Amino acid sequence: MSADLLIVANRLPVDRVTERDGSRGWRRSPGGLVTALEPVLRANDGTWVGWPGLAEDGDDEAYEPFEDDGMKLVPIKLDASEVEEFYEGFSNGTVWPIYHDLVAKPEFHREWWDAYVRVNRRFAERAAELAAENATVWVHDYQLQLVPQMLRELRPDLLIGFYLHIPFPPAELFLQLPWRRQLLEGLLGADLVGFQLPGGAANFVRLVRQRVGHKTHKDLVYLPDGRTVKAAAFPISIDAAGFEELAAGDGVAARVKQLREALGNPRRIFLGVDRLDYTKGIYARLRAFSELLEDGRLDVEDAVFVQVAVPSRERVEQYRILRDDIERLVGRVNGDHGRIGRPAISYLHNSVPREEMAALYRAADVMVVTPYRDGMNLVAKEYVACRLDDDGALVLSEFAGAADELRQAWLINPYDINGMKSALVEAAEADPKDLSRRMRAMRKTVRQHDVRAWADAFLAELSSIAGSSHDKQVRPARRA
């Protein structure tokens, strides 16, 4: 196998599943990244390298390269201790909180770092074996920040792009990392380092200048060996047309009606959909809602909150504590304000199918997205794409990357509970003309900047950096 385009990401775009008859197979994982990269992968006959999740005992087949629906996939094996130290440990216990404004306290363990280096090297070595001469390799996200440099050492001929899906923090936070220099140098192995927002790119360039001592000018870093690295923003997006189509389906319209009825046909449905993560501000938003009930500014007879909290990183202590806190709050609010058959908060700790997501988006009068820090937040964009009638209100944290584009939302500071309460009431009571004006503008933005535009823009920039030194260019994904 020798590929002109390689995608290297922590996870493969498929999950290992055991069918009813006991046989094992693969199922496409839901999510925007797969939708975004699949067309480019196909147009270039590319290969995706990633971890398939922990395989069951004896399931060695899970680690053989294979094809799924025409995509070439190469699994990387992690053992149980690596999952603990590299994934749950360094990636999610050290990097994740530091890159998200220290919303939780990071832990620093030298064994976690050692595992991070070891696993990053495994990914880099596999990518080096698979890439054709002068190929393009696109590395993704915070779990693999050392891969660009490791890969460049093994294969200087490659064109390497890196994209960070989460925020890149300011120096004050980043400098806490005992391995700060190694991480910066790891990223500098790429030709192009992409961020969600210009602020992340600027933070990176400033740190490289101050801490690694390289010359920089605007978004460029000049390395002593003559190479130039570009840092730039490429705000990620969704498959807007795909969501519109899903939302317009007959099944979804019928389900919207059912949902409203099941909730008691309230005047206003508030909705939150998030991975159960402390960055998402779920507790604060539910508290704001419960205080509105207490204050009498909302009435349980005509307002309900639906919160979908998708299980996430459940073996990490902070996530377990968060779940307990949220569930205690939900119980209390329902005990204080609910009636038989009419809870104030309908809470699901589960993931729901895509069609159900679209139905929930269409049923919700007010979408509540209140992260303390979020690289982008695709849920906000998905809600907008599904509002086919240009109605509905979005309450959005100014600390989500999406707030840069969705300016017509009710922008809030999630640390300001009173401000959040006022925004929830204003959004719920807004004039339909105002709602429609705001939603139309946001839908236009999301349609124009969809996920294909994102992938094409990144790869076009990467190709232009290669210029004449690379004879192979990545083909953009053709639109159907």
By CB under 6 A, tell whether 351 contacts ligand GDG: yes
The DSSP code for 59 is -
Q: Which amino acid is at 209?
A: R
Minimum Å distance from CB 101 to ligand GDG? 13
What does the alpha-carbon distance between residue 413 and residue 404 come to, in Å, rounded to a whole number? 14
If binding means CB under 6 A, how many residues of this protein chain bind ligand GDG?
A: 22
The pattern of x and - marking residues 235 through 274 that bind ligand GDG according to CB under 6 A reads: -x------------------------------------x-
Residue 3 CA from chain centroid, whole number = 26
What does the alpha-carbon distance between residue 231 and residue 219 come to, in Å, rounded to a whole number? 5
- Token code pair at residue 216: 């920089």
Q: Using the rule CB under 6 A, which residue among 16, 122, 165, 268 binds ligand GDG?
A: 165
What does the alpha-carbon distance between residue 128 and residue 150 come to, in Å, rounded to a whole number? 9
What does the alpha-carbon distance between residue 141 and residue 424 come to, in Å, rounded to a whole number? 33
User: Which helix (H) or strand (E) is 11 found in, with range?
Assistant: strand 3-11
Minimum Å distance from CB 25 to ligand GDG? 19
- Token code pair at residue 185: 């140098």
Minimum Å distance from CB 313 to ligand GDG? 11
Which CB sits closer to ligand GDG, 3 or 167? 167
Minimum Å distance from CB 311 to ligand GDG? 9
By CB under 6 A, tell whether 311 contacts ligand GDG: no
Which CB sits closer to ligand GDG, 115 or 378? 378
Q: Would you say the C-alpha torsion 40, 87, 189, 141 has a positive or negative sign? A: positive
Which CB sits closer to ligand GDG, 126 or 272? 272
What does the alpha-carbon distance between residue 322 and residue 277 come to, in Å, rounded to a whole number? 8
By CB under 6 A, tell whether 357 contacts ligand GDG: yes
Pick from 125, 143, 30: which is nearest to 82 by CA?
143
Q: Using the rule CB under 6 A, which residue among 166, 284, 363, 403 binds ligand GDG?
A: 166
Near ligand GDG by CB under 6 A, which window of 30-38, 46-54, 76-84, 264-272?
30-38
Minimum Å distance from CB 385 to ligand GDG? 11
Pick from 350, 347, 348, 278: which is nearest to 319 by CA?
278
Minimum Å distance from CB 422 to ligand GDG? 24
Minimum Å distance from CB 32 to ligand GDG? 5
By CB under 6 A, tell whether 310 contacts ligand GDG: yes
Minimum Å distance from CB 52 to ligand GDG? 19
The CA-CA-CA angle for residues 390, 396, 402, to 5°, reads: 85
Minimum Å distance from CB 134 to ligand GDG? 28
Whether 235 and 200 have beta carbons less than 8 Å apart is answered as: no
Pick from 85, 93, 84, 148: which is nearest to 121 by CA?
148
- Token code pair at residue 26: 């693969």
Residues in Cβ contact with 477 at an 8 Å cutoff, skipping those fewer than 6 apart: 39, 40, 42, 43, 452, 455, 456
Near ligand GDG by CB under 6 A, which window of 76-84, 349-357, 391-399, 416-424?
349-357
By CB under 6 A, tell whether 354 contacts ligand GDG: yes
Q: Using the rule CB under 6 A, which residue among 2, 27, 31, 464 binds ligand GDG?
A: 31
**Exposed (0-12), middle (13-18) or buried (19+): which is 69, by Cβ within 10 Å?**
exposed
**Bridge-based pairing state of the strands 71-75 and 131-140:** unpaired
Residues between 85 and 144 with contacts to ligand GDG, criterion CB under 6 A: none
What does the alpha-carbon distance between residue 67 and residue 56 come to, in Å, rounded to a whole number? 20
Which CB sits closer to ligand GDG, 116 or 454? 454
By CB under 6 A, tell whether 352 contacts ligand GDG: yes
Residues between 371 and 430 with contacts to ligand GDG, criterion CB under 6 A: 374-379, 382
Q: Using the rule CB under 6 A, which residue among 211, 275, 287, 475 binds ligand GDG?
A: 275
Minimum Å distance from CB 31 to ligand GDG? 6
**Site residues (vs ligand GDG, CB under 6 A):** 30-32, 165-166, 236, 273, 275, 308, 310, 351-354, 357, 374-379, 382
